[in-house]
Structure 1
Amino acid sequence: MTSENFLESSIQQIGRTLAKHSKASTTTILSQRWWNDLLMDWGMRDEDFKVQLFRFVDVLPTLKTDEQFTRVLAEYFGSTPILPKPLKWSLNKLPSFWVGSHIGALVLRRQFLRMAHTFMAGDSMANAMPVLEKLWRSGRCASVDLLGEATVSESESDAYRDHCLDALRVFHDHAQRWPTNTLLEQDHHGLLPRTNLSIKISALYSQLDPADPEGSFEGVASRLRPILNLATQLPASITFDLEQYELKDVTYEIFMRILSEPDYRNFPYAGIALQTYLRDADITLDRLVDWVRQRGTPITIRLVKGAYWDAENIQNEQRGWPIPVLRHKVETDANFEYISGKLFAHPTLFRPAFGTHNLRSLAHAEAIAQANNFGPQDYEYQSLFGMAESLQHAVVQYGRRVRVYTPVGELIPGMAYLVRRLLENTSNESFISKQRDHETPLEVLLAPPQPFSVSGSPPLPHSQNVQSPFENEPHTDFSREPARQAMRHALEKVKKELGQTIIFPVPSSLGSLKDEIVSTNPSRPKDIIARIPIYAPTQVEAAIQAAQKAWKHWRTTTPDTRADYLCRVAELIRQRRHELVAWEIFETGKPWREADGDIAEAIDFLEFYARDMRRLGRPQRLGQAPGELNHLEWRPRGLAVVISPWNFSLAIPTGLVSSALVTGNAVLFKPSERSPMMGYHLFQLFQEAGLPSGVLHFMPGGPEVGKALVSHPQIHVIAFTGSKEAGLHIIQQASKVAPGQHHVPHAIAEMGGKNAIIIDETADLDEAVQGVLYSFTGYQGQKCSACSRVIALEPVYADFIDRLTQAARSLNVGAPEDPKNHMGPMIDERALLKVRQYVDIAHQEGKVLLDRVMDQEGWFQGPVIVGNIQPHHRLAQEEIFGPVVSVLKAESFEAALTMAMQSDFALTGGIYSRSPMNIQKARESFDVGNFYINRPITGSLVGRQPFGGHRLSGVGTKAGGEGYLQQFMVQRVTSENTMRRGFAPTQ
């Protein structure tokens, strides 16, 4: 018999033995286990029900009263066909009878809460200790996981550290009184502490950011060292959990770096998880092998398959990033077996711990151990609390060490953990679900997984095929070291190019431009970005005449050819993406991700409008009546003026300029005087792409130049993004027709907002705090879509505003070229002074809860949070354009909606809620152009969230969506009578 055949035979024998010992006992009707299994079975049979179940379990802890419970339960399940008739009847009928409703709510609420607690040992370490002792006395040890790891502020990170320290002390003190168990307390490396704690590094530093590995290490290490010091003293084992893939590299880096420090180099009880659903798990293990050899002290490897599979697939697909996880369960199983073998190949380096509920995976690890003469104490199996109990007992009976990963904490912060457990229980590919299906033969459960090759996801294309459907340009993944290195190199390169005087072509009749503006770095105002010559109002005429001449040829250029120019510019931006990001960081003060997102959006506009013009450029037949041929065609208007803002200094001008050009207009482009260098880069990109001379004129200058362009009688279309005051002036000017002018200029104006987010009593406050924080501090609040009003319902107002304030206090503010800083400077002194004026008003109208005045060079202002604001106050009505948010209190959801609508603007708005009824009400009544549910209200994507508002937020069709290009063109319908002498051609 070959070694492979012998191993497989051993796996089958071990698997059957364990299966025999782990046959599940029958459950009693209406017992908790019966109830749990019933819900899990429903979830496996009906995907819609599973979604509703998970969402209801997620919101369950926030429902404080029976009335709330009954109402929200009915919102989620009232129309679910798979529910048993008695439960459906109670949901539909009982609420009308108070007594019946009350009793039904009590019973159901108790059952749902007990189900949630099935996966948790207790709400505190003191309450969990009897459970941990019971595990020990049954032959199982534990690793405690403290729930509540979603920290949004440094104070919460401090609290998590303190909870870890308290947990270690309580665990150690109680465990000393337990009976001796050599199998649980000894392995081939020596002592195994009874006290074992699992931690998540994301909870130890609220500003953890893989783009900033150095700052992340310092932030985590300062709180991790006291934990390691106590673990060394007791002793206790500390295991690092793995979370989302985006945090993987920084987690391993922190783990290896801190355990290489002299104080911890010899600490033998450190461990870390390794997720085998990751395509690069093998590479990661090789990296750990090299490091442990260098360190000289063994570590524990907790081999798991991974708990974030659904999230990794969804989030990375949303972002357009390669999928880091294996796409099929069987591939993960095969990888688990492969990595298991490699673990056993290094007995002096690792303490292997196999975290699995899969009978096949467990039997495989055991067979490998036996084949290599490992003793029962040399490795262990790990299981999740509340899951696969019978299999745990079978492994104990088999004489092997079992460690139970045991969550401890309150229910609300434990919801994310609980939903992951439910996903595992109900996945159609899950071993547990197959095991629950009594019709699944043991041969199937123990069948070897098919071999596979970890080839990685297909590489993302560097450019899009013009015939392919539009896809958003992925943002840069700064969790990867090559991306960070490219960004650092670009910053250094651009820094050497600062201070130059820009030269660009102007109409020959002008000779040269006399005056100039100086663009400076808002982080260091003394540093010059560039000197740019500017137009005077009297020089506008020459550019308009040159554009008029160029337009006569450009208008006849085919739509496909015009679209090709846009695609060439998109490709040029991709080639120098990091340099453009660097220029934007220096000139406008945008942090890394904000600037990178702006450059990606510029590419999106180019690609989207190029495709849309190819569609619109083909005549559309109208009607099918015989004997006539009707065609609708789109034709350019003429000369287009583009006046763009500074806050999206490449994306917005690219969108405006490219849409005007691709539709056949000649363009006079005036960038903001606050970001002229980014406007120059856009102009240069079109020149390099080969755009015919004179079709695009770069016209930097002050407000008077813009007014001269807008008022000129030869202008046909004006595309503007900026303030309400300037936009209204443009609209008014466009309505005036000068003598001899034979057209009415078409104005497109996006003008701003006073945007609100509603937080109701069912909201996930972890998500709400982070979403609001990003929505009002992203790019220092200098976005027309930024949140400036939060309307929190009374039950959550105090908790929300306290956590938001702590989170805002924790944000890193500083020069944006350093990736640790999530907030940079205001654009200039004028913008900073405006914010300070509104802070003075805030002291008069409400209560300033936070005002982070920054005492440093540059135009810096940290977050400002104001409470006790009323809807009529200036802070609730006027656009500030800075990191200032007012928090209003509402007594009911209806009152919150009314408050949200008390504004002249209608741009963006949002809601954080887990009540289907409230979400539906907001969908119907929250009157804004872009409405967001349970996510930040900034960061729209071309094609997916076309952007724009109404009322005083603007006029025109949404940017980045179908219908936008038509604004730059006029319609022409041609009707031909095709009938001659009584016959017509077949058409």
Structure 2
Amino acid sequence: MQAQSPYETKTQAIAKELISATREKRSFFSKLQDQMRLDDKLLGWTMENPFLRVQLFRFIDTLPALKDNGEIARHLQQYLGDDTVELPAALKKILNFTEPNSPPAQIAAATISKSVETLAFKYISGENTKQLLKTVERLRKDKMAFTIDLLGEAVITESEAQQYQQTYLDLMADLAAEAKRWSKVNAIDEADGEALAKVQVSVKLTAFYSQFDPLDPAGSKANVAERVRLLLRHAKDLGVAVHFDMEHYEYKTLTLQILKEVLMEEEFRDRRDIGVTMQGYLRDSYADLEGLVAWAKERGTPITVRLVKGAYWDQETINALQNHWEQPVFNEKGATDINYERMTRLLLENHQYLYGAIASHNVRSQAVACAIAKELNIPRRNFECQVLYGMGDQLAKALVKEGYRVRVYCPYGKILPGMAYLIRRLLENTANSSFLRQNLEERPVEELIAPPTGDLNQTIHDIAASPIHFDAAPNTDYAEPDLRSKAEFALDEVKKQLGKRYLPFINGEYVQTENFVDSVNPSRSAELIGKVGQISQEQAQEAIAAAKAAFPAWKKTPATERANILRKAAEIMETRRHELNAWICLETGKTLREADPEVSEAIDFCRYYADEMERLAHGFDVKPDDLSQVRGFKKYDVCGETNRYHYQPRGIAVVISPWNFPFAIATGMTVAALVTGNCTLLKPAATSSVIGAKIAEILIEAGMPKGVFQFVPGRGSTVGNYMVKHPDVHLIAFTGSREVGCDIYANAAIVQPGQKHLKRVIAEMGGKNAIIVDDSADLDQAVAGVLHSAFGYSGQKCSACSRAIVMDAVHDTFVERLVEAVKSINVGETDNPSVKMGPVIDGSAQAKIKDYILKGKEQSTVAFETEVPDNGFYVSPTIFTGVKADHGIAQEEIFGPVLAVIKVSSFDEALEVANGTDYALTGGIYSRTPLSIERATEEFEVGNLYINRGITGAIVSRQPFGGFKMSGVGSKAGGPDYLLQFLEPRHVTENVQRQGFAPIEGVD
């Protein structure tokens, strides 16, 4: 238990006074009970029905994108007309229509949209300057200060970042001009004889630079800092205070670092009209505040710290779970409250170094701060209370009445960009744990103001059981400075090893070759990564013979023993993660952010396939001590007869891996073949064969027996074809182009002299992937998702988006924003952390892609093309508009940074265009229309469909990957049936009767 705070007695007294004041007037909850207005009713209903809450908030999120009442009515029915949603009688009456364009539907749509707009303006202080000034003047009349936050600050283009800055500069000028006419309000315009700024604005650093990235602290600082300086200079000239907000956890450390450095500069070091936000729900926030106190002591001039609890708990928790990271936020509200009170005390007990701004609607949280302020006689300049506009109004008035300086945080801007903010406020207001809700429900005062309790160490991982039965590898969180340092060190160390020779590994030893292939850095084509020996046909024959000799023993090796070798390989990969990232970056031109998930995927393949093989080997209903467990039996017995179903390996597998995922795909195919008991030959793509050599090093170190695994780099047209056609080869696993895949499929089908089996081919051969953007889409998400999916790794992913199929209602806006977003990305050498898009793999690919671009220009319009570096194999990210569904660039796989935008007039046409190619690999849809999502799920012909997210980056087990049609043949990689392709099923039936009797299991 926590020790009693020395401020607890006074905290209780102040809290009781404040709660009493907040309950003096007719509460918001009593209005809900009286059911006076529809906007009030909506919140009341959601408090009573959690599923209605979800559906209604989703509808509200969609509403700004809907163009007319007919669309609003149609979406109302789709979100709220479901039989699973229990509707209050009044809402049922409103929705009692069948045709979206009928008069009742039009009335319903107008009524609901007006109610949501009214609801929004409870939390948003104005859409224009006139409305904002009216709000500000009303607040000042009530003796409350304000800070203005511009809605929609999430930027994805540099033009938006510049517009964001200019909007603030204009807003500060307008407010400062108006402020000259305001009468002085002593309670908020001065303190301890010092004049305070009448105008304050709140900004986010991430909105000053569209490419703000913790992996690139130097580049982010260089681009952000100058804009911050400009803002602060203008603010000083105008007499405006500036406060810097916090957003998501990944930006927190870099935000603090940049602000500390800028505010230490001589020009700004004596400024006191600046503030920064700290989020109490973060586990490391107390340590951050301690660091800020130390920094403030060194600086010598205080700044304000706004202490909030945090607004992104769900997102932070989901992000941590999906990435297998430690949860950055406390898991319980009580734990957050404990930490918040600790931080309040630390902040206020250092009031001479930092000014405290306590932002909370929790009466106890404000009472703790007020108690400390009174006990320590904190000067009025050094302390204030803050609330959000539209929330905690009664608390704010009570605090003013008690003589505290109160500031209201006022979001300002259009409803459309403000909808995300509105949803956060609605969630907060209606949550069971919300203090506002509990107070409005008039819970017992003693319960509301009791000291908080909670487990500060518990995480969501402790209570959320994962359906995934293996330990997925977490990607590197580059927001952590020490991990960035390790990445930088690994790049430097790998660069010292460039130019070495790498030899094939055959029958347990490295062998010399007559010929070598140079592997170069596609970012700097003059830079040699390594020289890789190429096997001859004779050496290929030796490798196959060695595999044939090793097969009988490997086949009999228990599945668990084979699986444990894979697990050992996964451990080695994790240990060498940063080094492997560096090799991938340098040899294939991936950024570290693109390379790191590939290493995670390879690790996951090892662990997942190890588990899967044990599952297949152990069978069903088999006791652990049963010997059949080792042999992979599954039992289906009847009286007098036993039936055993089990698997055996096929024999010799040849793995032909691609260069675009040189580590993950090569590892996945190889270890799948090995763990199932096949002796395996890995032939990597020439342009990524150094990485192939690294895979060989790892598997050898992990303990693969002699002849079981062999590394056989060589020319595909000679050695590759020879191995595919060899009569002793049983299986070919291939990932690559359609042309080569079809050739392998055809050659493998020819039975060679002496061959006694039919070969199995597993082939993944690419796609012509589309993302549909319908007229209800969240364009912020859609633009970012298409950008990443189309131009990530220069479009060189089989899952990359090469077609954006966009409804005509949003087409022009989408294209305009997408073009600006692509303009904002930095193209260059991928070991530069500021680069977001690198080169293509080699000169041949570069020439082919440029040829497609020339063909595209003959039929379509270039919406974007730019200059790129000339020291490597670079191709401009290119966007075409006016593309027809049958154009070459809309049908053929280009495998580069070329996007065809196709305008369609209906969702039917969108699906027809999406399905109108030879491929069926990945696809996506951005939509907030339930029926469109349902239809895409049923009708979009792809192996992997992604809804309201990018279409690249499948994760083992969660998203088994693979397509059909001309995208490939075989089951999904990373899925529960993938290993079956590497196995032959067998069944054994035995009659166990002897002279009319048989053993009966379980009977003595």
After TM superposition, the score normalised by the length of structure 2 is: 0.95
Equivalent of 1:933, from 947, 966, 974?
A: 947
> Quick one: which amino acid aligns to residue 657 of structure 2?
S
Matches within 5 A, 1:472-491: 472-491=472-491
Equivalent of 2:660, from 630, 647, 653?
A: 647
Equivalent of 2:715, from 665, 686, 702?
A: 702
1:610 aligns with 2:613: no
Q: Determine helix, strand or coil for the equivalent of 1:718.
A: strand
What are the superposed Cα offsets for residues 535-584 of structure 1, whole Å, 9 maximum, x if unpaired?
A: 12343212111111111211111111111110110011111111111111
Distance in 2 separating the partners of 1:5 and 1:486: 42
> Quick one: which amino acid aligns to residue 791 of structure 1?
I
Structure 1 counterpart of 2:625: none
Distance in 2 separating the partners of 1:796 and 1:169: 34
Q: Determine helix, strand or coil for the equivalent of 2:780.
A: helix
- 1:173 deviation in Å? 1.2
1:832 aligns with 2:846: yes
> Quick one: which amino acid aligns to residue 451 of structure 2?
P
1:849 aligns with 2:850: no
Matches within 5 A, 1:409-448: 409-438=413-442, 440-448=443-451
In the alignment, is the contact (CA less than 8 A) between 1:876 and 1:886 conserved in 2?
yes
In the alignment, is the contact (CA less than 8 A) between 1:201 and 1:240 conserved in 2?
yes
What are the superposed Cα offsets for residues 463-505 of structure 1, whole Å, 9 maximum, x if unpaired?
A: xx9x992132110000100100000110111111111112344
Q: Determine helix, strand or coil for the equivalent of 1:476.
A: coil
Distance in 1 separating the partners of 2:263 and 2:151: 24
> Quick one: which amino acid aligns to residue 677 of structure 2?
G
What are the superposed Cα offsets for residues 668-721 of structure 1, whole Å, 9 maximum, x if unpaired?
A: 111000100000111111111121111111111112211111111111000000
In the alignment, is the contact (CA less than 8 A) between 1:32 and 1:111 conserved in 2?
no
In the alignment, is the contact (CA less than 8 A) between 2:517 and 2:534 conserved in 1?
yes
1:810 aligns with 2:824: yes
Structure 1 counterpart of 2:622: none
Distance in 2 separating the partners of 1:74 and 1:333: 40
Q: Determine helix, strand or coil for the equivalent of 1:352.
A: strand
- 1:623 deviation in Å? 3.3
In the alignment, is the contact (CA less than 8 A) between 2:504 and 2:512 conserved in 1?
no
Q: Determine helix, strand or coil for the equivalent of 1:543.
A: helix
In the alignment, is the contact (CA less than 8 A) between 2:331 and 2:460 conserved in 1?
no
Q: 1:29 to 1:929 in 2, by over 3 A?
A: closer
What are the superposed Cα offsets for residues 572-629 of structure 1, whole Å, 9 maximum, x if unpaired?
A: 1111111111111110011011111111100000000000001111234353422211
> Quick one: which amino acid aligns to residue 772 of structure 1?
V
Q: Determine helix, strand or coil for the equivalent of 1:714.
A: coil
What are the superposed Cα offsets for residues 15-44 of structure 1, whole Å, 9 maximum, x if unpaired?
A: 121122212425668999854443233323
In the alignment, is the contact (CA less than 8 A) between 2:208 and 2:227 conserved in 1?
yes
In the alignment, is the contact (CA less than 8 A) between 1:188 and 1:378 conserved in 2?
no
After TM superposition, the score normalised by the length of structure 1 is: 0.97
Distance in 2 separating the partners of 1:30 and 1:108: 19
Distance in 2 separating the partners of 1:509 and 1:358: 69
What are the superposed Cα offsets for residues 441-477 of structure 1, whole Å, 9 maximum, x if unpaired?
A: 11111111127656889899xxxx9x99213211000
Structure 1 counterpart of 2:532: 532
- 1:60 deviation in Å? 0.9
1:201 aligns with 2:205: yes
Q: Determine helix, strand or coil for the equivalent of 1:859.
A: coil
Equivalent of 1:658, from 671, 675, 685?
A: 671
Q: 1:321 to 1:451 in 2, by over 3 A?
A: closer
What are the superposed Cα offsets for residues 757-815 of structure 1, whole Å, 9 maximum, x if unpaired?
A: 00011111011000000001111110000000001101100000000000001001111
Q: 1:92 to 1:744 in 2, by over 3 A?
A: farther
Q: Determine helix, strand or coil for the equivalent of 2:784.
A: helix
Q: 1:379 to 1:627 in 2, by over 3 A?
A: same
Structure 2 counterpart of 1:232: 236
> Quick one: which amino acid aligns to residue 381 of structure 1?
C
Distance in 2 separating the partners of 1:84 and 1:226: 53
In the alignment, is the contact (CA less than 8 A) between 1:329 and 1:429 conserved in 2?
yes
In the alignment, is the contact (CA less than 8 A) between 1:626 and 1:984 conserved in 2?
yes
Distance in 2 separating the partners of 1:685 and 1:46: 54
Q: 1:333 to 1:29 in 2, by over 3 A?
A: closer
Structure 1 counterpart of 2:64: 61
Structure 2 counterpart of 1:689: 702
Distance in 2 separating the partners of 1:378 and 1:666: 73
Q: Which moved more, 1:778-787 or 1:337-346?
A: 337-346
Q: 1:620 to 1:53 in 2, by over 3 A?
A: farther
Q: 1:456 to 1:480 in 2, by over 3 A?
A: farther
Q: Determine helix, strand or coil for the equivalent of 1:383.
A: strand
Q: 1:652 to 1:81 in 2, by over 3 A?
A: closer
Distance in 1 separating the partners of 2:192 and 2:677: 77
What are the superposed Cα offsets for residues 914-947 of structure 1, whole Å, 9 maximum, x if unpaired?
A: 1111100111110100000000000000000000
Distance in 2 separating the partners of 1:275 and 1:319: 22
Distance in 1 separating the partners of 2:383 and 2:497: 58
- 1:979 deviation in Å? 2.3
1:722 aligns with 2:736: yes
Please, which runs of 5 or more residues in structure 2 have no aligned partner? 619-631
Distance in 1 separating the partners of 2:832 and 2:743: 39
What CA RMSD, in Å, does the superposition of the two structures yield over aligned residues?
2.1
> Quick one: which amino acid aligns to residue 807 of structure 1?
A
Structure 2 counterpart of 1:47: 50
- 1:117 deviation in Å? 2.1
In the alignment, is the contact (CA less than 8 A) between 1:472 and 1:941 conserved in 2?
no
Distance in 2 separating the partners of 1:140 and 1:921: 52
1:574 aligns with 2:587: no
- 1:388 deviation in Å? 1.6
1:677 aligns with 2:690: yes
Distance in 1 separating the partners of 2:533 and 2:586: 19
> Quick one: which amino acid aligns to residue 965 of structure 1?
L
Distance in 2 separating the partners of 1:683 and 1:830: 27
Q: Determine helix, strand or coil for the equivalent of 2:370.
A: helix
Distance in 2 separating the partners of 1:12 and 1:964: 62
What are the superposed Cα offsets for residues 725-748 of structure 1, whole Å, 9 maximum, x if unpaired?
A: 011111111211123321110000
In the alignment, is the contact (CA less than 8 A) between 1:279 and 1:456 conserved in 2?
no
Equivalent of 2:336, from 332, 336, 345?
A: 332
Structure 2 counterpart of 1:774: 788
Structure 2 counterpart of 1:513: 513
Q: 1:459 to 1:529 in 2, by over 3 A?
A: farther
Structure 1 counterpart of 2:769: 755
Q: 1:29 to 1:596 in 2, by over 3 A?
A: closer
Q: Determine helix, strand or coil for the equivalent of 1:976.
A: strand
What are the superposed Cα offsets for residues 180-233 of structure 1, whole Å, 9 maximum, x if unpaired?
A: 112201235933201100001111100000111111111112322221111111
Distance in 1 separating the partners of 2:617 and 2:282: 46
Percentage identity across aligned positions?
A: 42
Q: Which moved more, 1:915-924 or 1:13-22?
A: 13-22
Equivalent of 1:877, from 868, 891, 906?
A: 891
Q: 1:189 to 1:468 in 2, by over 3 A?
A: farther
- 1:85 deviation in Å? 2.0
Q: Which moved more, 1:21-30 or 1:822-831?
A: 21-30
Q: Which moved more, 1:75-84 or 1:449-458?
A: 449-458
Distance in 2 separating the partners of 1:31 and 1:126: 33
Q: 1:767 to 1:509 in 2, by over 3 A?
A: closer
In the alignment, is the contact (CA less than 8 A) between 2:733 and 2:761 conserved in 1?
yes
Q: Determine helix, strand or coil for the equivalent of 1:668.
A: strand
Structure 1 counterpart of 2:725: 711
Structure 2 counterpart of 1:628: 641
Q: Determine helix, strand or coil for the equivalent of 1:780.
A: helix
Structure 1 counterpart of 2:624: none
Structure 2 counterpart of 1:745: 759
Structure 1 counterpart of 2:397: 393
Structure 2 counterpart of 1:8: 8
What are the superposed Cα offsets for residues 628-670 of structure 1, whole Å, 9 maximum, x if unpaired?
A: 1111111011110100000111100100110001111111111
Structure 2 counterpart of 1:141: 145
- 1:279 deviation in Å? 0.8
Distance in 2 separating the partners of 1:468 and 1:722: 29
Q: 1:247 to 1:6 in 2, by over 3 A?
A: closer
Q: Determine helix, strand or coil for the equivalent of 2:839.
A: coil
- 1:830 deviation in Å? 1.0
Q: 1:38 to 1:986 in 2, by over 3 A?
A: farther
Structure 1 counterpart of 2:88: 84
1:886 aligns with 2:890: no
How many residue pairs match? The answer is 980
Q: Which moved more, 1:48-57 or 1:947-956?
A: 48-57
